[in-house]
Amino acid sequence: MEGYDSPEYWEQKYQNKEHTEEWYYSYQQLKQIITPHFNKTDKVLCVGNGTSSFPVELNADFKPELIISTDISASAVEQMQKFASEKVKFVVDDALHMNLQDQFDVVFDKGCFDAISTSANRDQVISQYINEIQRVLKQGGKYIMVSYGKPYTRVGHFGKQWDTQIVQIPDKAPSGERGFAYIFQLIKQQ
């Protein structure tokens, strides 16, 4: 996972791509587990989205009020602009220093936490990321994270202000990786 915490890595990765690419699981693979956590009135932030079609498929299938999808790579966001609509926006933004001032009902993360956790300053970077998630998430809002990290390596980073539920996904990811992935649902307490 070397370089996953580097903006340059992601820009180089997406610079010459012309198709969507899923990390871990596609929307269709997660749909049964994920959609019960969304409401049609939700404002959703998909953080570190890359070129995943997740926000487009979530909108087509579930139609929340608004989906804003961010990535640090301008190339990834540019590629995804062709899927933008009134309810689905793609924005260049750094998950560690978000420019967004919105308050979201749901923040969805499919691999962003895993990528930043490869940083040499891991604990500091994760703390900064969680602070940004808390800042943009409404009270009672949900942070939904899909991760290959074992629960004991993830849950300790979240304080007591989060109500946590974990679902294990014992399936094979599209990348061919084997093992277990987890869906963490963390609800921001008051």
pLDDT tens for the 190 residues of the chain, in order: 457 777 887 888 888 777 788 878 889 989 988 888 899 999 999 999 999 999 999 999 989 999 999 999 999 999 999 999 999 999 999 999 999 988 999 999 999 999 999 888 989 999 999 999 999 999 999 999 999 888 999 988 988 889 999 988 866 555 555 567 888 999 988 6
- Report the predicted TM-score, pTM, of the whole model to 2 decimal places: 0.91
User: Which amino acid type is present at position 158?
Assistant: F
Query: What's residue 6's pLDDT?
Result: 76
In the chain, what are the domains?
A: 7-188 (3.40.50.150)
Beta bridge mates, 55: none
Per-residue confidence (pLDDT) for residue 75, from 0 to 100: 92
Q: Which residues contact 124 (CB under 8 A, 6 or more apart)?
A: none
Question: Which residue do the tokens 């930043």 mark?
Answer: 116
Q: What is the pLDDT of residue 128?
A: 95
Could you write out the three-class secondary structure of 56-90? HHHHHHHCCCEEEEEECCHHHHHHHHHHCCCCEEE
Q: Which of 3, 190, 8, 37 has the alpha carbon at shortest distance from 109?
A: 37
Task: Give the integer Cα–Cα distance in Å for 156 and 68.
Answer: 28
Confidence (pLDDT) at 1: 42
pLDDT value at position 177?
56
Identify the sign of the CA torsion 53, 66, 42, 4.
positive
Q: Reduce the secondary structure of the chain to three states and give it as a string.
A: CCCCCCHHHHHHHHHCCCCCCCCCCCHHHHHHHHHHHCCCCCEEEEECCCCCCHHHHHHHHHCCCEEEEEECCHHHHHHHHHHCCCCEEEEECCCCCCCCCCCEEEEEEECHHHHHCCCCCHHHHHHHHHHHHHHHEEEEEEEEEEECCCHHHHHHHCCCCEEEEEEEECCCCCCCCCCCEEEEEEEECC
Predicted local distance difference test score (pLDDT) of residue 176:
58
